[in-house]
Amino acid sequence: MFGHHGPGRMKRPDRPGGAAGLVVAAVVAVALAFAAPARADYEAGRKAWDAGDPAAALAEWRAAADAGDRRAMLALGRLRLQGLGAPQNYVEAHKWFNLAASRGAMEAVEERDALAARMTPAQVAAAQERAAAWRPGGASPEAETAAAAAPPASDAGPPPPRAIREAQERLALLALLGGKKLVGMARAEAAEDRREAGSRWADGETFRECDVCPEMVVVPAGSFMMGSPSSEEGRDDDEGPVHPVTIAEPFAVGVYEVTRGEFARFVSATGHDTGSSCWTWESGEGKLRSGRNWRSPGFSQTDRDPVVCVSWDDARAYVAWLSEKTGEEYRLLSESEWEYAARAGTTTRYSWGESASGQCRYANGADGSTGFDWAVECDDGYARTSPVGSFAANGWGLHDVHGNVWEWVEDCWNGSYAGAPSDGRAWGSGECGRRVLRGGSWLSDPRDLRSAFRSWYDSGDRFDCYGFRVARTLAP
């Protein structure tokens, strides 16, 4: 059941002097007097941040930024980039980095440019338009002048992106404990962003609709060529024929695969039966083992790891629960939606490019730490699953579309794309006792991590490398 491709491969299975000096000193004194509220807001934000309250920090820094404080602008950019205290939003993060950079915050230049490399041209243009249209919220020219003379922006708020992983995990817990306050602020910020963009949903906008809901990102409408050309290295026949697919409306996709912690809350709330056995890879052998399930898959996991040992039926039950809880349409992605979102506008073998050499940066696949014969030579630091978000996101902000766990999608299995839907719908005919899996896992070789690679398994079966990601239909 476990080939070198892993389970599910069933077809083969960032001082002057004199009078002039007196005049300058007087002007500076007046400016500093006007700037006092901004400085107070900024320092209050620092205290809130240090106390572990990102939502309060956000509010204080927004007030300071409205008075022109560049340190607060840099802090806001970092908060929006990381999704701390407010929904993750690349466009808003770029805007604040841009504003901070224009006021002399040198760190903001580096962080803005690093972020721009992860954004689409349309997102960068939208961010630049927002920055150009921004005006201080009632701040006097004197206050903005004094704020520009504030201490260097290196003191600004949360740590830069390269140093925040531990803070993210701590704040994820705080988000759970903070409950309605954080969720309410997130919804208000998301609504403001949509109004500024002139539509209900902005491309790249992130949101979380309840305290136990996955974080979602809005994927833009568009068209792409699904499948792989005959010239692609490692291609299988079932990846063709290459055909156009048009996604007519934006939709939301989980930023991360559903985590063990998120799934646990579903099981606790519903009492859903998740079985008492799972196919697992242990001691160099893959087989069905009793006593194995999502709570005990045969290796250690944190609540931030993707849930495993879940069937397609389990995944469907989870999205039905989310839909009932929120009143919105949560569901599994269709196979074409999955590939569209995973590619994020690319046409290469992987969303990061053609070469498998980038695997250990972008994907938790079979690597040097596993000891597998089919592993790549690099070491990604994880022999089994990794906490979601441990690897770089694709161009649309989705993590782990390559590797970590295979992801169940809605479609019935068909051995080719002949007759496949071209409008993004799930394929509801074919071998419907078998359902499609995409993306590869910690057990997969580079060939199976490609954007076009397809696999399947029976809808009721569970494996220690199978999980899922959710989608949400967006009302216009």
d(CA 242, CA 291): 42
Does domain 209-473 correspond to CATH entry 3.40.50.700? Answer: no
**Percent composition of the chain: helix, strand, coil (DSSP 3-state, to 5):** 40, 15, 45
**DSSP assignment letter at 238:** G
In this prediction, residue 333 carries a pLDDT of: 98
In this prediction, residue 218 carries a pLDDT of: 95
Nearest-CA neighbor of 470 among 266, 233, 289, 281? 266
Positive or negative: CA dihedral 421, 425, 428, 434? positive
User: What 3-state DSSP class applies to 209?
Assistant: coil
Nearest-CA neighbor of 422 among 245, 247, 251? 245
In this prediction, residue 158 carries a pLDDT of: 67
Positive or negative: CA dihedral 410, 416, 422, 427? negative
What is the mean pLDDT of each successive set of 10 residues along the chain, which is 476 residues long? 43 35 36 47 82 81 86 87 77 89 80 83 85 68 44 58 40 43 47 51 89 94 95 95 95 97 97 96 92 97 97 98 95 98 95 91 90 87 94 94 98 97 97 98 96 97 97 87
Q: Are 157 and 73 in contact (CB under 8 A)?
A: no
Q: Are 15 and 26 in contact (CB under 8 A)?
A: no
Domain ranges in the chain are 18-164, 209-473
d(CA 247, CA 219): 10
Q: Are 242 and 337 in contact (CB under 8 A)?
A: no
